[in-house]
Chains A and B, each alone.
Chain A
């Protein structure tokens, strides 16, 4: 196990190892319920709550859970938090709960959450597990918000239900339909990959300032 700093644990999931944009985990909700910003936000926050709660509990109880039944125990903990989130959403924001439908219950099988328990929370102190869960959960929420923002603006011409593009704008209905989810995710991943490869090239330039490649690139 490589030693990491608390800051690294917090920021890793948010950007460098963003669950949706880099690890490509939890794509099912990212495609299915991101047709509006409000839905994306509710799904992101519900997942955030489940991830933080589960990581906290798994990390606290890691020495009490027998190795042989750990996955069952993690799923039990995750499912409990998901049901709590489901009931709270239904009681507090019934309309959003209705729009998200079965996808709230399906947070149980979001591999990002189980993955963080198995790979991180079950092996680290509570504080670090908490930081990791907050970072990863926030990264997931931000990725969903990016998708929801793009899809709602193009598909409805609104942002959070407020008209943004004016009455003359003809909405691209395809963006709020399932294919729009794939288009949006594809373009975001493309942009992310492009940005990442540029960043790596820049760091090569920084690390070897007298390298052949770097000079040609600079003068070009």
Chain B
């Protein structure tokens, strides 16, 4: 019995070892994170910048507008946490004329949430482009929503709310988008994301000529 007690290290030592190890691990991770985080953020910003350029057809510059209490503004009040605010991106051409808004959205697709960015021109009322930011759709089928250039091209010009039609059976309506055979759910999700986001934001969107 006594021997048993001697052989077992006291609980304090067990706790102490694990605490010390945890502290060292934490320190190491803080250092690595300090190195990695700026790179990760820079990459994310770069991906977003490229996507905005794509869906707005190469704006000269763009500006982030935050939705604060029913209004879009470039400089939200300092006390609001910008990370939690809904936002859109307003693109301008070289002469400073607004050329469109880039709006992001996400909804569950076939496998997981599809996140995308689309361009919308309030002046003409047309969608100007669509770019999938994140998707885990089935390779070879659902992933055509980002890899099939014909499908992606369907999103330059249609008038929302969009209607998905079976490829080739459209009536020529300006709202129609040809869906991908074999990727019905994924294509339908892309169309739904755009329609829902526009519907949601429509009351607050800056109207033509009103973009700051």
Asked if B21 and A76 make an inter-chain contact with CB atoms under 8 angstroms apart, the answer reads yes
Interface residues in B137-151 by Cβ distance below 8 A to A read 138-141
Main secondary structure of the interface of B (DSSP, over half): helix
Determine which of A79, A84, A171 lies in contact with B140 in the assembled complex, contact meaning CB atoms within 8 Å.
A171
CB within 8 Å of A: which residues of B? Answer: 8-9, 13-14, 17-18, 21-22, 25, 28-29, 32-33, 35-37, 39-40, 43, 47, 134, 136, 138-141
With A84-B29, A171-B140 as known contacts, state yes or no: A66 contacts B36, CB within 8 Å: no
Is A176 in the interface zone, CB < 8 Å from B? yes
Asked if B139 and A65 make an inter-chain contact with CB atoms under 8 angstroms apart, the answer reads no
- 15 new A-B contacts, CB < 8 A, other than A69-B14, A173-B141, are A64-B17, A66-B9, A68-B14, A76-B18, A76-B25, A77-B25, A87-B36, A88-B32, A91-B43, A94-B47, A101-B136, A155-B139, A155-B140, A173-B140, A176-B139
With A80-B28, A88-B36 as known contacts, state yes or no: A69 contacts B8, CB within 8 Å: no
Docked pose: A181 CA to B17 CA in angstroms: 41
Residues of A within 8 A of B21 (CB): 73, 76-77
With A73-B17, A91-B40 as known contacts, state yes or no: A68 contacts B138, CB within 8 Å: no
With A64-B17, A69-B14 as known contacts, state yes or no: A76 contacts B22, CB within 8 Å: yes
Residues of A within 8 A of B14 (CB): 66, 68-69
Q: How far is the CB of B16 from chain A (nearest CB, A)?
A: 9
Docked pose: A92 CA to B141 CA in angstroms: 29
Asked if A80 and B29 make an inter-chain contact with CB atoms under 8 angstroms apart, the answer reads yes
Residue of B whose beta carbon sits closest to that of A80: B25
Q: Which 10 A-B pairs have the closest CB atoms?
A: A173-B140, A91-B39, A91-B36, A87-B36, A80-B25, A94-B43, A176-B139, A69-B14, A66-B9, A84-B32
Is A40 in the interface zone, CB < 8 Å from B? no
Asked if A68 and B9 make an inter-chain contact with CB atoms under 8 angstroms apart, the answer reads yes
Asked if B36 and A73 make an inter-chain contact with CB atoms under 8 angstroms apart, the answer reads no
11 contacts between A and B (CB under 8 A): A64-B17, A66-B17, A69-B14, A73-B17, A77-B21, A80-B28, A91-B37, A91-B40, A94-B47, A155-B140, A176-B140
Docked pose: A83 CA to B138 CA in angstroms: 28
Asked if A87 and B32 make an inter-chain contact with CB atoms under 8 angstroms apart, the answer reads yes
Residues of A within 8 A of B141 (CB): 173
